[in-house]
Amino acid sequence: MCDTCGCNITPGNKHLVEADGKLAKTEDGKAAVDVLHSLLHENDHQALHNREHFARHKVLAINLMSSPGSGKTTLLEKTIQNLGDSIKIAVIEGDLETENDADRIRNQGAPAVQITTGSACHLDAHMVHDGLHQLDLTDVDILFIENVGNLVCPASFDLGHHLNVTLLSSTEGDDKPSKYPVMFRAADLMLITKSDLLQYLDDFDPKAAEANFRKLAKDNPVIELSAKTDDGFDNWISWLKDTLALHHEKLSNGETMRPAIQADGVELHAHQHSHSHAHSHDHIHDHIHNKA
Amino acid sequence: MHELAICQDIIAQVEQIAAQHRAVAVHRIQLDIGPLSGVEAPLLEAAFPIACAGSVAENAELKIEISPIVVSCRSCNEKTAASANDLTCKKCGNWHTDLVSGDEMILKRVELDT
């Protein structure tokens, strides 16, 4: 819808695109137009619409990112069991193929939509928008978007979600934050999963993983947990509950949460929308730091 | 490898701008890319000819400027150069820093034949 309606031409940027606007001539006589848009302008625009859609339904949208096999779906299964009827969960699953993960979520009694990306290595805002059309968000409290397992591309795409949670399983290296800085810099929360295996894996040091995360100038919380043994799971559940409460508080003030790190374009874009929500860079870790 | 998707987004924007200015061709497209943007300039350059084929930007030159990674320290207020996986302050070593430059992915300027 937003690709065609022309609403990306706003009072804020109109002067740049009008023929008699801020047009300079280059030395060789070409007309030069200063744009200053994100390279993902179209995606960011769709993300903004998705975010407004979530706000209408008061839904908190959390983007789960990690490498394949780090335990995203297992985390969700356990989270749904743990929360029961107290907090209603829905899930958008992203995979290249199969309905397997969506089936696992449905087996826990939560609604799930599977997006199969074919060969695409990430979800984008348009795919999530399509998924939302298949999902009734009435009464849903938290929407998890389980991104395609990949520590590279998903970090670049704003989906309209409010927070990024990045998983690092103990079977991976504790230097993953250093190897994939773009991904881990985007994390509002880092979960060290499969902590039950740490006793067997003497080459994974959770402290080293956290130190590598801090080196990315991240003061966000780190939670160690196991979805098998429930170790540390309470901390995750508390984080979710605190975050949901903060989300509702912000909504009632006409604000919306955004991921800690956002591409320049998202900011540029948001500022050009007079109808956009006032956005805040408040860091939710202030409320939950002790639990990490 | 999402650089092709990004190129397609760029071309869609450039086509819009070209149409608004009734341009006959796009001469040059200028981008600012930071190492922490998650976008690789060489891959963008490789994907660009595929994305712009048949568009008004078909023969455009793609000019990419790489922004340096610079952080500002919350403790000592110094601005220092940093690397992608070490954003600590080079002066005092504190990791409580803010990124000043290095995560840009911006379509900066388009030059048109009108």
Nearest chain A alpha carbon to B85: A178
Q: Do B107 and A37 touch (CB under 8 A)?
A: yes
Is A5 an interface residue toward B (CB < 8 Å)? no
Of A30, A42, A122, the CB nearest to B2: A122
Tens of pLDDT, residues A190-236: 999 999 999 999 999 999 999 999 999 999 999 999 999 999 999 99
CB contact under 8 A, A17 and B20: yes
For chain A, percent of residues with pLDDT exceeding 90: 68
Residue A209 lies in a domain: yes
Question: pLDDT tens-digit profile of A134-147?
Answer: 999 999 999 999 99
Question: How close is the nearest chain A Cα to the Cα of B86, in Å?
Answer: 5
The string of pLDDT tens digits covering residues A242-269 is 999 999 999 999 999 999 775 443 444 3
Q: Do the chains contact at A19 and B112, CB–CB below 8 Å?
A: no
How far does A109 lie from chain B, in Å, by closest CA?
34
Domains of chain B in start order, with CATH, are 3-68+102-113 (3.30.2320.50)
Q: For residue B38, is pLDDT > 80? A: yes
Instruction: Report pLDDT for A276.
Output: 34
- Judging contacts by C-beta atoms under 8 Å, the chain B residues touching residue A17 are 17, 20-21
Q: Which residues pair with B80 in a beta bridge?
A: B71
Looking at residues A115-129, what average pLDDT do you find?
Answer: 90
| Calpha distance A13→A269 (Å, rounded) | 10
Q: Cβ-count burial of B79 within 10 angstroms (0-12 exposed, 13-18 middle, 19+ buried)?
A: middle
Q: Return the CATH number at A242.
A: 3.40.50.300
Nearest by CB to B113, from A30, A35, A124: name it: A30
Q: Does residue A228 lie within any of the structural domains?
A: yes
Q: Is the pLDDT of residue B73 over 60?
A: yes
ipTM (interface pTM): 0.87
CA B63/CA B25 separation, integer angstroms: 16
Is there a domain that residue A260 lies in?
no
More confident residue, A37 or A75: A75
Confidence of residue A271 (pLDDT cuts 50, 70, 90): very low
User: How do residues A71-100 score in pLDDT, each as one tens digit?
Assistant: 999 999 999 999 999 999 999 999 999 999
For A246, the 3-state DSSP assignment is helix
Element (H, E) at A259: none
B-chain residues within 8 Å CB-CB of A30? 27-28, 111-114
- Chain A residues whose CB is inside 8 A of the B38 CB are 152-153, 155-156, 182
Per-residue pLDDT, averaged over A154-160, amounts to 92
**Which of A77, A91, A73, A190 is closest to A135 using CA atoms?**
A91
Orientation of helix A72-83 relative to helix A233-252, angle to 10°: 70
CA distance A272 to A14: 10
Question: What gap in Å lies between CA A273 and CA A113, rounded to an integer?
Answer: 30
Predicted local confidence at residue A24, as pLDDT? 67
Average pLDDT, chain A: 84
Residue A182 inside a domain? The answer is yes
Mean pLDDT (whole number) for A30-50? 90
Q: How many domains does chain A have?
A: 1
Domain that residue A83 falls in: 43-251
